[in-house]
Chains A and B, each alone.
Chain A
Amino acid sequence: MVSRWFLRALVAGYLLMLVAWPVSLVATNAFTNGLDAMVMVFTDPGVVHALQLTVLVAGIAVVINTVFGVAMSMFLVRYEFPGKRLLSALLDLPLAVSPVVVGLALVLVYGGRDGWFGPFLESLGIRVIFSTPGLVMATAFVALPLVIREVVPVLTEIGTDQEQAAKSLGASSAQTFWRITLPAIKWAVIYGVVLSTARSLGEFGAVKVVSGNVLGETRTATLAVEELYLNFDQAGANAIAFGLAMVSVLCIVVVGALRPRHRI
């Protein structure tokens, strides 16, 4: 009995000191001078552009990761091929590798001046690094496994019986996927999408390397927070940080609301 209370206190204290308190300070600091900081920051054209860019980049990255993630999950679960375990392990790499490394790797490949592939694309007029495509790639890379890791266990669990039944009833592969497989994995996909969205909106390291941080062009919301903070605009930094934190909290609430249904 005593040990149980002790454990609870330990966990609560740990979470309080590490998560709840610091995050709540961001919130209180954002409103120290009432709504002034908020209004000022969110009417600044540079910040507004940064937020729009973040939403655009995260949106594209999430769409790419969802389509790719579901396709990859089907491939991993429904087909046998040599190197399957290796591929599965490789898909977890983005979780293990530091985002800064991801950014640098992308620069090495797609860098406009001395990248491996970049100069060729540049000659076609496509700029990747220091531009929106680079931001999308970096963001998609770091959030890559989130949909897959949600969908794979559910696909494995439902098995192939329902799909085979649909086929025997005359459904084509596409009809089987849209009418049977997708509804069966729907909650896992939504869950993965929410997690990917949260991760994509908050990405900093990889984006910082590939963005070049040009105000009004390639500066995203997280980069804007850093910029304001380094320029001693603590209030402004807190205001944007509060906005980002709110979106994450919203994501967690959505996930929490979905989870019980997803389990059934």
Chain B
Amino acid sequence: MSIDVRGVNKRFGGFVALDDVNVSIPTGQLTALLGPSGGGKSTLLRIIAGLESADSGSIEIEGTDATQLPPQRRNVGFVFQHYAVFKHLTVARNVSFGMEIRKRPRAEITQRVDELLSLVHLSQFADRLPSQLSGGQRQRMALARALAVQPTVLLLDEPFGALDAKVRKELREWLRRLHDEVQVTTVFVTHDQEEAMEVADEIVVINHGRVEQVGSPDDLYDRPANEFVMSFLGEATTLGGTLFRPHDIEVATSPLAVGGIEGTISRIQRVGFWVRLTVLTDDGEAVAVEMTRSHARELGLAHGQTVWLSPVPRAARVSIAV
């Protein structure tokens, strides 16, 4: 394990940011810390980097206890949401900063800066100041700067959070490819479940300062540990007191299946390829159901029609705690 977080607690005044957090992050993978804003994921990342100190607990990086180490001795690369570029230094000098601090030979620095700038597609901007770059370019520069010191782990705090939707999507795909190329253990914080699902090998879901679940994107989607994970990683709806994905609910126009729950269609929405139904059951539940348009057409569904709902076999499900 590359990073071991054990029993970490952190409070800000009366606010509990992290509550006995235990996580192990595997070497060489791209791991996402996912959760809603204010859930503690950024705090955890900053504690791993040493930018914040834990009230109790320990942090181990590649087998060394880093709990008491200052950030400059942890050998982590950190990328900030708002880039944290050195405004008075050129792009090349930004990237070489860490190597200059480490007093690497001039020739080595020049060569490595060239390599990194071409890796992040900024070679032609080497002599510009950061203020002459776009947000996406600045963040790529910040990434090159963090990689320059050959960190044991690369930590990214909402790296694409300040960028517009299109650049965001481009950069996240690019980050995935970059990671496959560079293979450094990478942890990034995001509140965007789509981003986490698309990019990460492993996702750590954090909410209210606690780790809710750790697993691969498929694990979390198909076998969510609880209500929170289920509803945070995609749509969820209740049927008979259990949470399901709306596309995991089957609709029958006659009471064929045993245990089907009866209800009436109160709303039909067509969203492109999908049809979204709202079915009011006799128990008063409003159940969301999703199906393809062709399937809906086959069934001949109409507003006000009585239908019977049942989950598909092997559907992801979570019972709601009462």
Listed in ascending order, the chain A residues whose CB lies under 8 Å from chain B are: 161-162, 164-172, 175, 179-180, 183-184, 186
User: B80 and A169: CB pair below 8 A?
Assistant: no
With a cutoff of 8 Å between Cβ atoms, the chain B residues found around residue A162 in the complex are 84-87
Q: How many A-B contacts are there with CB distance less than 8 Å?
A: 63
With contacts A164-B51, A164-B78, A165-B78 taken as known, whether A170 is within 8 angstroms of B84 at the C-beta atoms is: no
User: A170 and B86: CB pair below 8 A?
Assistant: no
Contact of B221 with A by CB under 8 A: no
For the complex formed, measure the closest distance between the CB of B197 and the CB atoms of chain A, giving whole angstroms. Answer: 28
Per-residue CB contact flags for chain B residues 85-100 toward chain A (1 = under 8 Å, else 0) read 1111000000001100
User: A164 and B80: CB pair below 8 A?
Assistant: yes
Per-residue CB contact flags for chain B residues 122-148 toward chain A (1 = under 8 Å, else 0) read 000000000000000000001001101
User: A170 and B72: CB pair below 8 A?
Assistant: yes
User: B84 and A169: CB pair below 8 A?
Assistant: no
With contacts A162-B84, A162-B86 taken as known, whether A168 is within 8 angstroms of B101 at the C-beta atoms is: no
With contacts A162-B87, A180-B86 taken as known, whether A167 is within 8 angstroms of B51 at the C-beta atoms is: yes
With contacts A161-B80, A175-B101 taken as known, whether A167 is within 8 angstroms of B71 at the C-beta atoms is: yes
Find B78's partner among A168, A172, A175, A184 (CB 8 Å cutoff). Answer: A168
User: B49 and A165: CB pair below 8 A?
Assistant: no
Contact of B70 with A by CB under 8 A: yes
With a cutoff of 8 Å between Cβ atoms, the chain B residues found around residue A183 in the complex are 88
With contacts A170-B149, A172-B72 taken as known, whether A165 is within 8 angstroms of B84 at the C-beta atoms is: yes
A164 to B74, CA, bound (A): 13
Contact of B76 with A by CB under 8 A: yes
With a cutoff of 8 Å between Cβ atoms, the chain A residues found around residue B76 in the complex are 168
Contact of B102 with A by CB under 8 A: yes
Find B71's partner among A164, A180, A184 (CB 8 Å cutoff). Answer: A164
Contact of B82 with A by CB under 8 A: yes
Find A169's partner among B70, B85, B97 (CB 8 Å cutoff). Answer: B97
Instruction: Given contacts A167-B72, A170-B75, A186-B88, list 8 more A-B pairs with CB under 8 A.
Output: A162-B86, A164-B71, A165-B80, A165-B84, A168-B77, A170-B72, A172-B72, A184-B87
A164 to B46, CA, bound (A): 10
With a cutoff of 8 Å between Cβ atoms, the chain B residues found around residue A170 in the complex are 72-73, 75, 98, 101-102, 149
User: A169 and B98: CB pair below 8 A?
Assistant: yes
For the complex formed, measure the closest distance between the CB of A224 and the CB atoms of chain B, giving whole angstroms. Answer: 43
User: A164 and B145: CB pair below 8 A?
Assistant: no
User: B84 and A171: CB pair below 8 A?
Assistant: no
Interface residue ranges of B154-183 to A (CB < 8 Å): none
With a cutoff of 8 Å between Cβ atoms, the chain A residues found around residue B82 in the complex are 161
With contacts A169-B97, A170-B102 taken as known, whether A164 is within 8 angstroms of B84 at the C-beta atoms is: yes
For the complex formed, measure the closest distance between the CB of A238 and the CB atoms of chain B, giving whole angstroms. Answer: 45
With a cutoff of 8 Å between Cβ atoms, the chain A residues found around residue B149 in the complex are 169-170
A172 to B71, CA, bound (A): 9
A165 to B71, CA, bound (A): 10
A28 to B72, CA, bound (A): 62
Identify which of A166, A169, A186 gathers the most chain B CB atoms within 10 Å of its CB: A169
**Closest A-B pairs by Cβ, 3 of them:** A161-B84, A169-B98, A168-B78
- B87: nearest chain-A partner, CB-CB: A184
With a cutoff of 8 Å between Cβ atoms, the chain B residues found around residue A166 in the complex are 86, 97
For the complex formed, measure the closest distance between the CB of B196 and the CB atoms of chain A, giving whole angstroms. Answer: 23
For the complex formed, measure the closest distance between the CB of A123 and the CB atoms of chain B, giving whole angstroms. Answer: 45
For the complex formed, measure the closest distance between the CB of B87 and the CB atoms of chain A, giving whole angstroms. Answer: 7
A-B contacts, 27 of them at CB < 8 A, read: A162-B87, A164-B78, A165-B78, A165-B80, A165-B142, A166-B86, A166-B97, A167-B70, A168-B50, A168-B51, A168-B74, A168-B77, A169-B72, A169-B97, A169-B145, A169-B146, A169-B148, A169-B149, A170-B72, A170-B73, A170-B75, A170-B98, A171-B72, A171-B97, A171-B101, A179-B97, A186-B88
For the complex formed, measure the closest distance between the CB of A185 and the CB atoms of chain B, giving whole angstroms. Answer: 10
Interface residue ranges of B30-77 to A (CB < 8 Å): 49-51, 70-77
For the complex formed, measure the closest distance between the CB of B220 and the CB atoms of chain A, giving whole angstroms. Answer: 29
For the complex formed, measure the closest distance between the CB of A61 and the CB atoms of chain B, giving whole angstroms. Answer: 29
A161 to B81, CA, bound (A): 10
User: A184 and B102: CB pair below 8 A?
Assistant: no
- B98: nearest chain-A partner, CB-CB: A169
